[in-house]
Amino acid sequence: MARKVVANITLSLDGRTTGPAGPYDMGWIVPHSITDMARDHLVAITDATTAVLGRSNYEGFGGFWPTVVDDESADERDRQFAEWLNKTEKVVFSHTLEELPWENSRAADREPAEMIRQLREEEGRDIYVLASQSIIRHLLDAGEVDRLSINLAPEVVGGGARLFEDGLQASSWTLTDLATSDSGSVWLIYDRVR
């Protein structure tokens, strides 16, 4: 069975992945990331055997999730996701990181589409690209995303980076699942029509 590549990301209603103040302007995401639905979704990811991250998310996730495992006050689902993140293979795309201190991390040694094609040939289950918009965009353009997992937050951010920029290759998708959260966000699962 071929490994499925899943792009997992939160978007605002105006299609943003960050706010107008730059890559770390993501406070609008927080209320939609701590809902029961969002946490249940994190647990569902833990069946995958590879996580793909860009430098920013590797550093951001690595600065937060490793310690959640031992935090007895954390939601059990957060602890389960953190344990998975610590143990799973992490493939990191970066031109600047010289060290990858988080256990089970390795640097990608080729461009995203080529690396994903290599990962598809290796043993394992699904491959999740975790919130790394530039990698997701590159993989979408190369036709290497099988599933889009989008947490659509009911926020108009008004500026910042977009996932879907002009120039992406056209593609068709089918809605295979959706769920709504108490915060008003909607989790949309789309599978690529091939």
Reported as a single tens digit per residue, the pLDDT across 134-192 is: 999 999 999 999 999 999 999 999 999 999 989 998 999 999 999 999 999 999 999 99
Three-state secondary-structure class, residue 77: helix
pLDDT at 24: 83
pLDDT at 17: 95
pLDDT at 109: 92
Q: How long a stretch of residues is the chain?
A: 194
Q: List the beta bridge partners of residue 162.
A: 16
Q: Residue ranges of the alpha helices (H) in 70-188?
A: 76-87, 112-121, 133-141
1: confidence class by pLDDT, cuts 50, 70, 90: low
2: confidence class by pLDDT, cuts 50, 70, 90: confident
- pLDDT at position 5 over 80: yes
| Mean pLDDT calculated for residue range 108-117 | 96
Is residue 180 within a helix (H) or strand (E), and if so which, with residue range? strand 173-180
DSSP per residue, 15-51: -BSSBTTBTT--GGGHHHHSSHHHHHHHHHHTT-SEE
- Name the average pLDDT for the chain: 95
Q: List the beta bridge partners of residue 20.
A: none
Q: What is the pTM of this model?
A: 0.95
Domains of the chain with bracketed CATH: 5-12+32-161+172-192 (3.40.430.10)
Q: How far apart are CA 55 and CA 52, in angstroms?
A: 10
Distant-in-sequence, close-in-space partners of 48: CB < 8 Å, separation ≥ 6: 6, 88, 125, 126, 127, 128
pLDDT at 23: 85
